[in-house]
Amino acid sequence: MDKRPIGIFDSGVGGLTVCKAIEEILPHEHIIYFGDTARFPYGTRSHETVIRYSREITDYLTSRNTKMIVIACNTASAVALETLKRENSIPVIGVIEAGARAACSRRRGDIIGVIGTRATINSESYVKAIKKINSAIKVIQQQATIFVSLTEEGWVDDQITQMVAKKYLQHLYDADVRTLILGCTHFPLLKKTINSVYPDLDLIDTGVEIAYEVEAILKEKNLENSDGSRNIELYASDISETLQRLKEVFFGNNSTNIQKLIIDSKI
């Protein structure tokens, strides 16, 4: 039994979907979550800057004696994962490979769709991850950046969001996409709305998939904490109304509070 915490970080608030999924699947684990909301979004930053931010956060999390680091940010997963793996002795995993593996195993036919922010789509990280698993699979991508704003406004079950879903996804659906990766940590909040428009789309929730991978790695490496009590620490570099609202969506208005924490290269 290993009582050390799991460290999770994201560039903003969307990583709370990953944090919640891990908490539900592994309720006995101690979780430390950090959202870098003051420096959000990472998608507009250079690769050098994203790696620097990711190193700074990882340094803080490892200083808290974490047993694993989960990168809940698609941009940081695409840019910084290999660097952080190289530089740390504990397991470091990202959302992209987990989502790609789940989509390949659950796909219907040889086409997989991916939606994400413009930065994630332009990086083609999901395309590369999927092709590495099965080069015969066709991948159709679509940036869906407005979905981020809609979730942060709380319009997750709104007629406007349904209209945007049709605008973004109709051409993917017409191209026979029936397996769709939600390639942004905000997007799982829109599963119900997307499926109300396209009920036969199999939506790959990368938060859930990475939670299962965390579970498997902990078992494989004998790092599980099987009898701990619920213990979640939430930190952010800037605490906004959006962050507070999403915290309440996932964890309720209870004793799980968000604390402000500034992380920089001095740590």
Structure tokens at 206: 């990368």
For the chain, the average pLDDT equals 92
Do the domains spanning 6-94+208-260 and 96-206 agree at the CATH topology level? yes
83, 97, 125, 200, 267 from 115: Cα distances, Å: 25, 15, 12, 17, 35
Task: Report the alpha-carbon distance of residue 149 to residue 157 in Å, rounded.
Answer: 13
Mean pLDDT of the region 18-33:
94
Residue whose structure tokens are 């906004």: 240
How far are the Cα atoms of 103, 214, 265 from residue 9, in angstroms, in the given order?
23, 14, 16
| CATH match for 6-94+208-260 among 1.20.1560.10, 3.40.50.1860, 3.90.850.10, 3.40.50.2300 | 3.40.50.1860
pLDDT band at 267 (very low <50, low <70, confident <90, very high): very low
User: For the chain, what are the domain ranges?
Assistant: 6-94+208-260, 96-206
Q: Does residue 73 carry a catalytic annotation?
A: yes
pLDDT at position 254: 67
Is a pLDDT exceeding 90 seen at residue 263? no
For residue 149, what are the CA distances in angstroms to 61, 152, 156, 161, 216?
28, 5, 10, 10, 33
Tell me if 16 sits within 8 A of 247, measured CB to CB. yes
Model confidence over 45-72: pLDDT tens digits? 888 999 999 999 999 999 999 999 999 9
Q: What is the pLDDT of residues 87-138, one digit of tens each?
A: 999 999 999 999 999 999 999 889 999 999 888 898 899 999 999 999 999 9
Q: Give me the catalytic one of 50, 114, 180, 184.
A: 184
The neighbouring-strand residues paired with 183 are 116
Q: What are phi and psi of 44, to 5 degrees?
A: -95, 0
Domain 96-206 has CATH 3.30.465.10: no
Question: By percentage, how much of the chain surpasses pLDDT 70?
Answer: 98
Among candidate residues 73, 78, 119, 164, the one labeled active-site is 73
User: Quick check: is 184 catalytic?
Assistant: yes
